[in-house]
């Protein structure tokens, strides 16, 4: 029996304090968020505040056309804020396992066509503004085709078990990247093809660290998204799927975004037991590969 001066040991519940590594990771994540978001949030907030303040102070002297232009700018900045916040919430949920995928039979070709149509519609809505702001407006052409096991074009559209909403988000992100990193416009191509089981030596062309072991035992379906844009330097290829990673060059500094889109893509594809990676050559464009199991 313990005396009055004795202290009885009571085991504590395990938590962050009992896991220094987890604590350091959380602190690092907080530091990354603060460092990146301080800029990404400040820019659209400044635009909203600036245009709103001008409308309030000079409402009577601003023409109707100018007011409409200001409101459009405020709306665009608000959309940017919404995207950033949604990406932050989504990557946090993905990393903590809060998001689960729901597999249903899915026609990949139909999904890709929908994504391409949405990308073309978005570009069309902004085309007039781009033409006014640039002496050389950029124009894009989108193509999609399906290949069989021999690499020949086919009309047979593959069906897999996947989460349509999440997979559509991945395709949307890759198409948006292809557009953003192609300052001169050009062709964007999506290819769907089957990948048959193969031996390890057949996969030597893949980047080191790419997780594709499941492809050695089962059939896979591949989706590639290719552009003719500025490309990605070799030293960045292995890091582009990390959260907040941005390729900082003269050509990319004008592209907005917190660097979470590809991190979200990676999480979603891995939830499908698939793999995603990129091949690129600076100045020649990039190709993003997605491998998904055919169940």
- Burial (0-12, 13-18, 19+ Cβ within 10 Å), 214: middle
Q: What is the pLDDT of residue 13?
A: 43
User: What distance lies between CA 238 and its chain's CA centroid?
Assistant: 15
Tokens of 277: 């990676």
Strand pairing report for 186-195 and 140-146: parallel
pLDDT tens-digit readout, 143-176: 999 999 898 999 999 999 999 999 999 999 999 9
- Burial (0-12, 13-18, 19+ Cβ within 10 Å), 39: exposed
The residue-averaged pLDDT of 55-70 equals 85
pLDDT tens-digit readout, 249-275: 554 445 565 678 899 999 999 999 999
Q: Which H or E run includes 104?
A: strand 104-107
The residue with greater pLDDT, 201 or 28, is: 28
Q: Is the pLDDT of residue 108 over 90?
A: yes
Strand pairing report for 186-195 and 220-226: antiparallel
Question: Looking at the domain covering 104-132+139-293, what would its CATH class be?
Answer: alpha beta
Residue of 112, 167, 181, 114 whose CA lies nearest to 144:
112
Cβ neighbours of 65 (radius 10 Å): 8
The domain spans of the chain are: 16-95, 104-132+139-293
Question: Looking at domain 16-95, which CATH architecture does it have?
Answer: Orthogonal Bundle (1.10)
């Amino acid at each position: 029996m313990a005396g009055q001066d004795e202290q009885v040991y009571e085991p504590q519940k395990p938590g962050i304090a009992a896991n220094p590594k987890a604590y350091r990771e959380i602190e690092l994540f907080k530091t990354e968020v603060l460092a990146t978001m301080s800029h990404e949030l400040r820019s659209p907030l400044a635009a909203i505040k600036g245009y709103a303040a001008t409308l309030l102070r000079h409402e009577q002297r601003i023409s109707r056309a100018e007011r409409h232009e200001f409101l459009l700018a405020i709306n665009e900045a608000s959309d940017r804020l919404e995207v950033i916040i949604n990406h932050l919430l989504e990557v946090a949920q993905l990393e903590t396992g809060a998001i689960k995928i729901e597999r249903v039979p899915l026609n990949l070709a139909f999904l890709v066509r929908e994504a391409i149509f949405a990308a073309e519609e978005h570009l069309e809505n902004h085309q007039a503004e781009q033409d006014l702001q640039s002496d050389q407006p950029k124009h894009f052409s989108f193509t999609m085709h399906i290949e069989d096991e021999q690499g020949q074009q086919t009309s047979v559209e593959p069906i897999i078990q996947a989460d349509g909403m999440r997979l559509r988000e991945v395709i949307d992100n890759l198409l948006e990247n292809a557009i953003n990193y192609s300052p001169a416009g050009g062709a964007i191509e999506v290819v769907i093809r089957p990948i048959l089981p193969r031996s390890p030596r057949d996969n030597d062309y893949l980047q080191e660290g790419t997780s594709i072991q499941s492809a050695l035992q089962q059939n896979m379906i591949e989706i590639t998204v290719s552009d003719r844009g500025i490309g990605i330097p070799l030293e960045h290829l292995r890091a582009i799927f990390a959260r907040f990673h941005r390729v900082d060059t003269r050509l990319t500094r004008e592209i907005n975004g917190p660097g979470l889109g590809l991190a979200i893509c990676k999480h979603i594809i891995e939830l499908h037991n698939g793999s995603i990676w990129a091949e690129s050559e600076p100045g020649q464009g990039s190709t993003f590969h997605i491998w998904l199991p055919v169940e």
